[in-house]
A and B are shown apart, each in its own frame.
Chain A
Amino acid sequence: MITWDVGTIILLIMAGLTRASILFIVAAGLTLVFGVLRVINMAHGSLYMIGAFVAASVIQGVGGAGSFWLALVAAPLAVGLVGAVIEFGVLRRIYQAEHVVQLLATYALILIFDDLVKMIWGAEYKSVSIPAAFAGSLSIGDRPFPIYNLFVIAWALLLAAALWFMIYRTGLGRLIRAAVEDSEMLEALGVNIPRIFSSVFIIGAFLAGLGGVLVAPLGSIGLGMDVTILIEAFVVAVIGGLGSFPGALLGAGIIGMMFSFGITVAPRMAMAFVFLAMVIVLIIRPWGLFGEPER
């Protein structure tokens, strides 16, 4: 069915990288929040969706050339704010509760946000055009490849570098790494744990919102996008190891590539491959490729 030539393979690799980029940006937030707060934020997908909708409103409301850049700044900040509200209002009260309670609470948030988004923005599909600066395609190996996708990949790399710098080279990063290791000890040492938790959650929300803005020109913005991304980001985070940010990078890369090539080899099985990968990793290494056993 497919003519396997160099051009095709390069295109598939680039396609895989694009998908991996979005997955990484979203999964990074999810895994960071779990690593530090030990909470699986089911509403992470909802934050991503809100980011996309806010971006759509900004772009359609303001219009013109600069509106995408404005959305790129405004939407993640707005989502970060929503994250702050969630952390303060809901999560703070349930850090000590069982995992089940936390899952239920964040799941309830999914339902609440679903209805809120429908009330505020309505049920119609919204579409955001690719910003003019990135319209068109570039020839890669004699095939056209969309420039915007390259922009998304570049952003993911930039973010990976920025997150790496923050985690391994800054004071906050040191505290975060310590909190992932042992937050009780850290508290005993007098560090303001609640403030770290808030900061990390807001960063996570910010990342989710950023993912939403970047993905907006690539697809349609509508109700239901929260669920689809959550499942995929979850798989990526689990494979990489919940709490490990290099794990998220690797996981996103694996899933992105598996998907891209899986579709050409066995189209009906593409989704199954992804979950199969997760099962295999969990059997061999239950805490993910880069994860640590739960203390």
Chain B
Amino acid sequence: MRTKGSVGAVGIVLVATLALLLLFQPAQAQKPIKVAMVNTSTGGAALYGLAGIEGAKIAVAELNAAGGLLGRKVELIVRDDGAKPDVGSREIRDVILREEVAAVFGPVSSGVLLAMSEVAKENKTILIAHTSNTERAFVERGHRYIFSVVPNTFIEGSAMGQYMAKKPYKKYMIIGPGYEFGYIQGEAFERRLKENKKDAEIVGKLWPKLGETDFTSYITAIIAAKPDAVYSNLFGSDLIAFTKQAKGYDFFKKFPFAALYDVDTLQGLGKDVVEGVIGYERGPFHVIRKLAPSKRLEDFIQKYRAATNKYPSTWAINAYDGVMAWAKAVKKANTIETEKVVDALEGLELDSLRGPGRYIRKIDHQANVGSYIGVVAWDKNFADFAIYKDPTYIPGDKVWRPEAEIPEIRAKAAK
């Protein structure tokens, strides 16, 4: 019934509604900054992915506890790539286009990294690698938006080549997982070994498939080839299986052996570990504590143990470093706008859990992070898993690819 009274009533309701809407409209500056981690949380590689996710969560929580970035909360979106390149590409595309993230972190697999990198390049979004490390993603297929805070295959392989060249062994056998990471890192090791030791030779290379569970045939093949030493970039469950099986053949009594014995692998092996083998990895908390102790590291270890009841693996430490690197660049550039953050990241010195002096070089966006090497041995401070004794750190800038080589490699790849 149209009366003056009801028109007035409708008017009041309309105004009230508008007022409520305006009041609850989040002010533009309050919207959170979204970042995404596309990592592996299912399947065999899940352990590394989950550690990375945990490390990133701790970093984001710290940023938010300190008031956020540029006054805004940081929100972490987590996606699972299942270690499959097509899934990884799909997820990164989704978080970029639908969630409009400011940066992406991840993945575990070098194969997935190459696929995700294409999407990041296409969409001009920052991608920071903190676990997968194939050099190809940064040199041959490098671009403006991809960064690495983890030693790439060239650094890691060359560091071991340099380290082993000092030993008296001449004939080497290489055994590694049969995919991108295995092959490329094996190449780097071989090159640096031969550069530093003229009479070294590789008498054979074995590439069991990633996820191989039965290494008996590979072990017998190595025994039959009689090398002086064996270099391996097997890791995780493959390395655990290899170590346990090889023990039964007195393998480690016959052959000096070097492999990626990271904290997870040593924990997984437990009492089955073989003392005296050489281990190398990218951020073992027990070595960093000795060589570059810091309050920051101890705080991180404490937070990580509170959240998971475990010691942080290198994958958690590097993920934290990746997120903090991006955060520092954002603060320096005073914006989340990609081009400016990229400029800030180039040359940036990291506030890294691994210690001072790490910076990102411009030509391939690789941080000068290096390789931690030691001899696997039990330590009275840790009852459940062995660590490294006589550890050493080879810095990234001592072994990374000389800048002069990079333009030529890129030119060749572009053809």
A interface residue numbers (CB < 8 A to B): 1-4, 8, 11-12, 15-16, 18-19, 22, 114-115, 118, 123-127, 129-130, 136-137, 143-149, 215, 217-220, 222-225, 227-229, 259-264, 267-268, 270-271
- Which chain A residue lies CB-closest to B239? A220
Instruction: Known A125-B240, A127-B269, A267-B204; judge A3-B226 contact (CB<8 A).
Output: yes
**For residue A118, which residues in chain B have a CB less than 8 angstroms away from its CB?**
42, 46
A218-B240 Cα distance, complex, nearest whole Å: 9
From 189 to 226 in chain B, residues with beta carbon under 8 angstroms from any chain A beta carbon are 203-209, 211-214, 216-221, 223-226
Which of chain A's residues has its CB closest to B45's CB? A224
**Does B248 touch A at the CB level, under 8 Å?**
yes
User: Which of A8, A137, A149, A227 is close to B43, meaning CB atoms less than 8 Å apart?
Assistant: A227
**Interface of chain B, main secondary structure:** helix
A134 CB, nearest partner CB in chain B, Å: 9
B217 touches A16 (CB 8 A): yes
Kindly report which residue of chain A lies nearest to residue B46, judged by CB atoms.
A123
B250 within 8 A of A: yes
CB neighbours of B204 from chain A (8 A): 1-2, 267
Q: How far is the CA of A261 from the CA of B214 in the complex (A)?
A: 14
Identify the 9 closest CB pairs spanning chains A and B, nearest first. A224-B44, A146-B248, A125-B268, A219-B241, A220-B240, A15-B216, A220-B237, A260-B217, A8-B224
CB neighbours of B64 from chain A (8 A): none
Q: Mark B127-157, 1 if CB is under 8 A from A, else 0.
A: 0000000000000000000000000000000
Q: Which of A8, A130, A270, A271 contacts B220 (CB 8 A)?
A: A8
Q: Are A218 and B42 in contact (CB under 8 A)?
A: no
Q: Are B244 and A217 in contact (CB under 8 A)?
A: yes
Chain B residues with Cβ below 8 Å from A259 are 217
* Alpha-carbon separation in the docked complex, A145 to B223 (Å): 12
B250 contacts across to A, CB distance below 8 A: 137, 144
State whether the Cβ of B392 lies closer than 8 Å to any Cβ in chain A. no
Task: Check B395 for interface membership: any CB of A closer than 8 A.
Answer: no
B262 to chain A, nearest CB (A): 11
Partner of A263, one of B217, B238, B248: B217
Q: Is the CB of B236 within 8 A of A125?
A: yes
CA A45 to CA B135, docked complex, whole Å: 35
User: Given the interface contacts A19-B217, A215-B213, A259-B217, does A145 sit within 8 Å of B42 by beta carbon?
Assistant: no
**Does B47 lie at the interface of the complex (its beta carbon under 8 Å from any beta carbon of A)?**
yes
**Identity of the chain A residue whose Cβ is nearest the Cβ of B173 in the assembled complex:** A1
Task: Judge if B178 is at the interface, Cβ distance under 8 Å.
Answer: yes
Inter-subunit contact A218/B43 (CB<8 Å)? no
Chain B, interface size category, equals 35 or more
Beta-carbon contact of A223 and B269 below 8 Å: no
Across the interface, which residues of A come within 8 angstroms of B357, CB to CB? none
Give the docked Cα–Cα distance between A147 and B132 (Å).
38
- With A114-B42, A224-B44, A264-B221: A219-B216 Cβ-Cβ less than 8 Å: no
Partner of B213, one of A127, A217, A225, A260: A225
Contacts of B238 in A (CB 8 A): 220
| Interface residue? B270 (CB, 8 A) | yes
Q: A125-B237, A224-B45 given as contacts; is B245 within 8 A of A218 (CB)? A: yes
CA distance A22 to B236 in the complex (A): 22
A36 CB, min distance to chain B CBs, angstroms: 28
Docked complex Cα distance between A219 and B219 (Å): 13
Q: Evaluate contact between A219 and B42: CB separation under 8 angstroms.
A: no
Instruction: Indicate if the CB atoms of A127 and B240 lie closer than 8 Å.
Output: yes
- In the bound complex, residues from chain B placing their C-beta under 8 Å from that of A137 are 248-250
Q: Which residue of A lies closest to B245 (CB)?
A: A218
Cβ-defined contact, A11 with B241, below 8 A: no
Q: Which residue of B lies closest to A258 (CB)?
A: B217
Is B352 among interface residues, defined by CB-CB distance under 8 A?
A: no
Q: Tell me the bound Cα distance from A272 to B29 in angstroms.
A: 57
Interface string of B255-297 (1 = CB under 8 A from A): 0000000001101111110000000000000000000000000
